[in-house]
Structure 1
Amino acid sequence: DILGMNQSISYGETLVSSDLIFELGLFTRGNSSMSYLGIWYKFSPETVVWVANRNNPLAERSGVLTFSTVGNLVLLNQSNGVVWSSKSSRVLQNPVVQLLDSGNLVIWDKFSSSSNEAYSWQSFDYPSDTLLAGMKLGLNLKTGFEWRLTAWKSMDDPSPGDYVNLLNYNQGLFQYEIVQVDGHSKKIRTGQWNGVRFVGIPPIPIPDQAIVPIFMFNETEISFMFEVQKSQLLLKITLNYSGVLQVFVTDRSRSAMSKLMHEFPSDSCNLYDRCGANAICSLGLCECVKGFMPRSPDEWKVLEFSSGCMRTIPTNCSKGEGFMEIKRVKLPDLLDVTLNKNMSLKKCKDECLKNCSCMAYANSDIRDGGSGCLMWLGDLIDMRVFEKQNYGQTLYIRLSASELEITKEDIDLPLFNLAAIVSATNNFSDDNMIGAGGFGSVYKGNLQTGHQVAVKRLSRSSRQGLEEFKNEVLLITRLQHRNLVGLLGCCIEGEERILLYEYMENKSLNYFIFDQEQSLLLTWQRRFDIIVGIARGLLYLHHDSKLQVIHRDLKTSNILLDGNLNPKISDFGLARIFGADQKEARTKRVIGTYGYMAPEYAFDGKFSLKSDIYSFGVLLLEIISGKRNRGFSHPSHHHNLLGHSWLLWCEGRALEIMDECLHNSFDRTQVERCIRVGLLCVQKFPEDRPAVSFAIDMILNGGLVLPEPKEPGYFSERNSEYRDGASAKGDPYTQNAVTLTLPEGR
């Protein structure tokens, strides 16, 4: 593991650390003849962790590593020209170079101590694209020297690439950023160090707390490094050529193979400023923070979010203003902030309220219950929310008085205390989670009374979710029907907003319909009963209840099934009440699910009872066919499921859309009648669609003469929302299909 003054290494020769972990030598990659001096795992030569001459490769498979007369380690080409030099800090009379088992290549004087202080040069001071245990990333405050990672140009080209990972230091706050070399544009950022972790990076899943992060901040340096507590574990963090940080772990006691444990960015929400100013990213979707609306609604309609969001109601330091708490959030970028490390969170809130420019505040350090005051004085940039506990941090965003939330006094519903719900859900355990969406997460809960409940916990990053919470609490308590899910109670405690429903052990309809094995349990008779049950629930909403209610989000994932597979319509967060004489309404904020939205609603924001009828028609055809409308594909045409069904109907072949698993047990007349009713419900123009009462009559009355359906909506021109995916059975079911918000109708 040691090379002395009069020794050298040529191409094909190597230096190996004492425990046979790392190896130093000359290497080439791919088909290139260029040679580099590098260090790699002895057991995996392809895993290069350090490269010396990245800017000046040898032009051929040759070269010699030796010492110069002044004790520098030098790499010579065939002409004895110096290609690379260590440029040691002092002249050494008897230099030796040693490759340590840490992967650090060090130079020291043979007749002095080999301790760290005696190294005249070490490779750990000059990282390439990889961070090893004991290697630093950061800034030397005395010399200005920066320890940074620089990506390779490509997988087989170690020369400096397009991305660097560097430290951003601002007012005593630190975060690391991956920046494109050209233009210095940020790709991702870690979020600031909060005393425990970088707030924007989830904990890396290393077993037994084997990795210890170390953050150093003193008069001489700001740096981050990590230590590995178990000798058999090797960990490296690599910035790859595409700008992605990758964490690899090798357990030498089990295998010589490296396992990828984490990538950053791990999803689109990690991309810098993905949603624009004052917006938050969750599960890949962008949404304005409560109290804000899209700055450019037309751009948001086509999923272009860079313009961000602006306040719906300007704040002006008026009486009654307050803050909304968002937990598990990656705090905004440090662009216009103030920091007071000695201020409590309560004092921080008071100071933020006094400052009319203050948009949000948070603790700067989360240790020992939290301390320090961090205030944002401008737009909030690059936020995301994490679904899991103990990720991210809590942020408090300023709201006008009119935007603050519903209180317990507004609710005529049993109230549950938070402790009981925490106990029932095993502290909102991932094992209890049965669904998730933009609103938050749904958990299975077991109350102390022995009753099972479904617990819908609102995500406080979701403005739409807060509005839906209010809507559902104030509406569903006034609706009671065997085919509507029952709301049992709610919880309003601190910033928690939770709804408790009756638990449906058979989950949702899409779990059965779109799954190759589960669909076999739904015979035609069961499917027919489900269709009738949904229709009766819809009839109650439209005609039989004290209120006339439009659901606005009927879809398979919102049809829950009890133990006997009886359907229950759920999720009334988007529902609207109509007056007795009201026929139609219009909104600039179109909310719903692609594949189920009626054309007049999706394009013009118009909704009515007939909008729900359209969604019911889509449900009917999906139940009969076992295929999704959204994502349906056919080799002979480009139409969705509705268009395909229409074509078969016109050709007298309507039964061909029926799920193949039903061919041995179905009532031909019933199936044909249901297909016809489905097509009548999805007709392009709302005035052509039947009322739900007539739809039920047509489904149940075999002797009734039915009208001929006209062309369905979306038939003439296929929209982009139908271009992704296929309709084959075996696709993973989705517990909660994504509900999209389009801020303004055309």
Structure 2
Amino acid sequence: MGLGRGKISLALLLLTSSFCVEIITAIDTITSTQFLRDPEAIVSNGSIYTLGFFSPVNSTDRYVGIWFNEVPVVTAIWVANRNKPLNDSSGILAISKDGNLVVLNGQQEILWSSNVSNFVSNSSAQLSDTGNLVLRDNNNEEIMWESFQHPSDTFFSNMKLSANKRTGEKILITSWKSATDPSIGSFSAGLNRLDIPEIFIWKDNYPYFRSGPWNRQVFIGVPYMNSAAVDGLNLVDDGEEQTRWEHGMEDRIVLWSVPMFDCEFYARCGPFGSCNAQASPICSCLRGFEPNNPEEWYRGNWTSGCIRRKSLQCERVKSGSEAAGKNDVFLKLGKMKVPDLAQWSRLTEIECKDRCLTNCSCIAYAYNSGIGCMSWIGDLIDVQEFPTGGADLYIRMAYSELDGNDRKKVIVIVSAVVGTITSAMICALLTWRFRSKHRARKEGGEKLPSDTNEKHPSFLDRDMTGDSMDHVKLQELPLFSLESLTAATDGFDLSNKLGQGGFGPVYKGKLSDGKEIAVKRLSRASGQGLKEFMNEVEVISKLQHRNLVRLLGCCVEGEEKLLVYEYMPNKSLDAFLYDPLRKQLLDWKKRFNIIEGICRGLLYLHRDSRLRIIHRDLKASNILLDPELKPKISDFGAARIFGGDEDQANTIRVVGTYGYISPEYAMEGRFSEKSDVYSFGVLLLEIVSGRRNTSFYGNEQALSLLGFAWKLWNEGNISALVDPAISDPSSQAEIFRCIHIGLLCVQEFPEDRPSASTVVSMLNSEISYLATPKQPPFAERKHHINEERLHQNEEKCSINYVTVTGVDAR
């Protein structure tokens, strides 16, 4: 992981600066007699890493750093003299007389040192194939110093960030000051807690982002994070340290990144406030609380947070007014990012609740089997509501805060418990009677149904909730057995996991005939279920187009629900587009073909197929790439089929992804073909710029990529939006035309946006004249935000973002 240059990026590797090395020697070790003089370099034994002198892009200063040896775009992952650059090419990296590794200038002044206090007469520094530069005492082979214990902005394979329990010292990664200046910047990242490990990012030593607690698989405050085995992330208590490791590979795939949304900035809604990225406004007070400063709160300044509406019974008892009312209650809030500053204990779930209930100072508790008991006695800070994932948070509140429905739920829950126990007893009795009769009949020689060739009911006969339509839909597809798919994926082994979506995990598999497949398995913990499963079956089974992913079949057995797709070896568009190295493979010609292919697939859905389909979740991660990097639209779980005379519809259940949802859909639940066109416009601008819509923040005076593009359009500086990787004068006109089309697609009102068929004609220049685009939604910051808020939330949407990445072998 790494902290970005001008960005904050917690990532395995980070693209920051390009440079070249003029001379590379064959050795991997520096000794007292073998030193490096600029521009010489050494290479690790397996030719994986290089150590030498470099200059960042657009800079003449010289630094000593480590980078990948054979990666086309060289990336500095460690820098020695980051705060004291050389101003010429006279630099030397050598072993000093006291055994330290030092960087010297032409006047033999020490600009940087490993700074080991013990004098060693015979030492050497070796660059390993893990990227670690190790200084050893050659007399006893003891490690004196290593670069892994003194990282720069990048956290990569086999490195560990640690927090020492005895001393409280932490090993952190720190950002570059800018793309041209590797000196220590404003941001740092590392582990903050020892009892409940969390990753924190700090800006100028103040919390900027918090991951939520580690539950032995994921950080529960990052709901889109996959399991540890997929992300290559692990935390181990070795007695003194909390450790993180990552297996070593060459290519990188961004697995998750933070902050992605406005809600992920620390304490966004103040004490006792809750943030929901899908709500408008995003901040609200927790149940039983009200704005501390109503005037500022309703103007969008949420930092003052919320206060309790009614005193707790505990508080009234303490003040002497015991006749106040009934005892306090705990209200369950599901799918929450639990607050910061939790107290931790090893109590069971029941013990956790009882302790908090009997302790008037305890205002909230949560329990997670991978973490234990968490409780809070002060302000609840940095609370967030998720659509899926998170944890159940129980908040103490006055009984009088419960409404009639809440009180009925208490009775219903009690009744349900009694009913469940009764049902269990009845089932047990019936089972016992059935087995007794079965045994008696068998002993009497009677032939039982199980002894015959009679066909027993399958899932399709019995378990499809009695919906004959579902039966028909499934019979239109080839059916795979669970046994065959289990064998194809090696038992759904984590090594075959391709990714994770709202539906559930996706695995790579190989059938007995050698055909490769992708298997989407409905997660039991998924926010989606049978409805989305059947929706995808119904929609995609009827579609055939080269720019749509092909559904090969499905499997429904017991509680298992799986969809089988053609396998896409290049995974999804976002794996290329937002990766500093892989994006270099997408030149402008390939990107234009991807843009055109997506639009043709969209046109087929809207107009050319036998159904009219609105996708409703068009985004980079739902665009798969075949071996030739041709795009295929995937994931139809949220799609909606329109009747012949329908042109729009309304819903109270808005589905989709933040940043891609059109304003009329997000605000009013109204969607149409133009909703997909809006999402396509966002995606088009992302492809041209190489940046996420949600990665544009305060430093660029825009809330999003759309706002930034609109600002540059009005300034006549649209070239600044273009990804440097595709900046080519010969393609400039076509690139600018695509930006123009993208801005037409993201106009605020649906009637102003072109249809998919019109966009195809625009891309092919069949329509030469393009109208002047109107301002997209959310293009400008709200001017009523006062200076105090800007100071308190400085760079709340900065250009800094964090990514944790994993890598796959080439």
Map of 1:155 onto structure 2:
179
The answer to whether structure 1 residue 340 and structure 2 residue 340 are counterparts is no
Map of 2:336 onto structure 1:
329
Q: Structure 1, residues 9-57: CA drift from partner, whole Å, max 9, x if none?
A: 0112111111111110011112322111111111236311111111111
1:430 counterpart letter in structure 2: G
The answer to whether structure 1 residue 286 and structure 2 residue 283 are counterparts is yes
Work out which of the residue numbers 118, 133, 136 in structure 1 matches 2:157.
133
Alignment of 1:379-458 (within 5 A): 379-388=379-388, 391-401=389-399, 402-403=402-403, 404=406, 406-407=408-409, 430-431=502-503, 445=531
- C-alpha distance 206-23 of structure 1, shift in aligned 2 (>3 A): farther
SS at match of 2:134: strand
Question: Which structure has the highest strand share of the two?
Answer: 1
Report the CA distance between 1:314 and its aligned residue. Answer: 3.5
Report the CA distance between 1:159 and its aligned residue. Answer: 0.5
2:336 and 2:464 mapped to 1: Cα distance?
A: 24
1:152 and 1:74 mapped to 2: Cα distance?
A: 21
Map of 2:209 onto structure 1:
188
Report the CA distance between 1:324 and its aligned residue. Answer: 2.7
2:153 and 2:112 mapped to 1: Cα distance?
A: 18
2:215 and 2:529 mapped to 1: Cα distance?
A: 30
2:182 counterpart letter in structure 1: P
1:2 and 1:100 mapped to 2: Cα distance?
A: 9
SS at match of 1:91: coil
Alignment of 1:706-745 (within 5 A): 727-730=752-755
1:110 and 1:302 mapped to 2: Cα distance?
A: 66
**Please, which runs of 5 or more residues in structure 2 have no aligned partner?**
1-27, 315-324, 414-418, 421-458, 471-481, 483-499, 506-525, 539-601, 613-639, 654-661, 680-746, 758-776, 779-810
The answer to whether structure 1 residue 66 and structure 2 residue 94 are counterparts is yes
Indicate if the aligned counterparts of 1:124 and 1:135 stay in contact, CA closer than 8 A.
yes
1:726 and 1:137 mapped to 2: Cα distance?
A: 52
2:301 and 2:608 mapped to 1: Cα distance?
A: 42
- C-alpha distance 376-62 of structure 1, shift in aligned 2 (>3 A): same
Indicate if the aligned counterparts of 1:129 and 1:149 stay in contact, CA closer than 8 A.
yes
RMSD between superposed Cα atoms in Å: 5.2
Q: Structure 1, residues 695-719: CA drift from partner, whole Å, max 9, x if none?
A: xxxxxxxxxxxxxxxxxxxxxxxxx
Indicate if the aligned counterparts of 1:125 and 1:147 stay in contact, CA closer than 8 A.
yes
2:261 and 2:358 mapped to 1: Cα distance?
A: 37
Map of 1:124 onto structure 2:
148
Map of 2:83 onto structure 1:
55
1:177 counterpart letter in structure 2: F
Report the CA distance between 1:214 and its aligned residue. Answer: 2.5
Indicate if the aligned counterparts of 2:237 and 2:243 stay in contact, CA closer than 8 A.
yes
- C-alpha distance 112-163 of structure 1, shift in aligned 2 (>3 A): same
1:20 and 1:135 mapped to 2: Cα distance?
A: 19
Q: Which of 1 and 2 has higher RCO (CA within 8 Å, sep 6+)?
A: 2
Report the CA distance between 1:267 and its aligned residue. Answer: 1.7
- C-alpha distance 572-131 of structure 1, shift in aligned 2 (>3 A): closer
Map of 2:243 onto structure 1:
224
SS at match of 1:165: strand
2:380 and 2:200 mapped to 1: Cα distance?
A: 17
Instruction: Please give the TM-score of this superposition, normalised by the length of structure 1.
Output: 0.52
Q: Structure 1, residues 486-528: CA drift from partner, whole Å, max 9, x if none?
A: xxxxxxxxxxxxxxxxxxxxxxxxxxxxx97777699xxx9xx
The answer to whether structure 1 residue 26 and structure 2 residue 24 are counterparts is no
2:94 counterpart letter in structure 1: T
Map of 1:309 onto structure 2:
306
**Please, which runs of 5 or more residues in structure 1 have no aligned partner?**
235-249, 252-257, 434-439, 453-514, 527-559, 574-592, 603-614, 632-721, 739-746
Map of 2:262 onto structure 1:
268
Indicate if the aligned counterparts of 1:339 and 1:375 stay in contact, CA closer than 8 A.
yes
- C-alpha distance 348-74 of structure 1, shift in aligned 2 (>3 A): same
Indicate if the aligned counterparts of 2:216 and 2:235 stay in contact, CA closer than 8 A.
no
Report the CA distance between 1:99 and its aligned residue. Answer: 0.3
Q: Structure 1, residues 231-259: CA drift from partner, whole Å, max 9, x if none?
A: xx43xxxxxxxxxxxxxxx33xxxxxx43
Report the CA distance between 1:212 and its aligned residue. Answer: 4.4
SS at match of 1:58: coil
1:441 and 1:731 mapped to 2: Cα distance?
A: 31
Indicate if the aligned counterparts of 2:163 and 2:192 stay in contact, CA closer than 8 A.
no
Alignment of 1:292-691 (within 5 A): 292-317=289-314, 319=326, 321-334=328-341, 337-341=342-346, 343-363=347-367, 366-367=369-370, 371=372, 373-388=373-388, 391-401=389-399, 402-403=402-403, 404=406, 406-407=408-409, 430-431=502-503, 445=531
Report the CA distance between 1:186 and its aligned residue. Answer: 1.7
Report the CA distance between 1:306 and its aligned residue. Answer: 2.1
2:272 and 2:397 mapped to 1: Cα distance?
A: 12
1:331 and 1:563 mapped to 2: Cα distance?
A: 44
- C-alpha distance 310-65 of structure 1, shift in aligned 2 (>3 A): same
Report the CA distance between 1:571 and its aligned residue. Answer: 6.5
Indicate if the aligned counterparts of 1:519 and 1:626 stay in contact, CA closer than 8 A.
no
2:336 counterpart letter in structure 1: V
2:159 and 2:665 mapped to 1: Cα distance?
A: 54
2:501 and 2:109 mapped to 1: Cα distance?
A: 63
Instruction: Please give the TM-score of this superposition, normalised by the length of structure 2.
Output: 0.48
2:98 counterpart letter in structure 1: V
Map of 2:617 onto structure 1:
none
Indicate if the aligned counterparts of 1:627 and 1:727 stay in contact, CA closer than 8 A.
no
Indicate if the aligned counterparts of 2:161 and 2:170 stay in contact, CA closer than 8 A.
yes
Q: Structure 1, residues 64-85: CA drift from partner, whole Å, max 9, x if none?
A: 1111112111111011111111
1:67 counterpart letter in structure 2: I
1:107 counterpart letter in structure 2: L
Q: How many residues align?
A: 460
1:366 counterpart letter in structure 2: S
Indicate if the aligned counterparts of 2:133 and 2:147 stay in contact, CA closer than 8 A.
yes
2:665 and 2:166 mapped to 1: Cα distance?
A: 63
Report the CA distance between 1:126 and its aligned residue. Answer: 0.6
SS at match of 2:351: helix
SS at match of 2:102: strand
Indicate if the aligned counterparts of 1:178 and 1:189 stay in contact, CA closer than 8 A.
yes
Alignment of 1:171-250 (within 5 A): 172-181=195-204, 184-202=205-223, 204-205=225-226, 209=230, 211-216=232-237, 218=239, 221-228=240-247, 233-234=248-249, 250=250
Larger Rg: 1
Question: Which structure has the highest helix share of the two?
Answer: 2
2:337 and 2:268 mapped to 1: Cα distance?
A: 13
Map of 1:489 onto structure 2:
none
Share of identical aligned residues, percent?
30
- C-alpha distance 140-47 of structure 1, shift in aligned 2 (>3 A): same
1:270 counterpart letter in structure 2: E
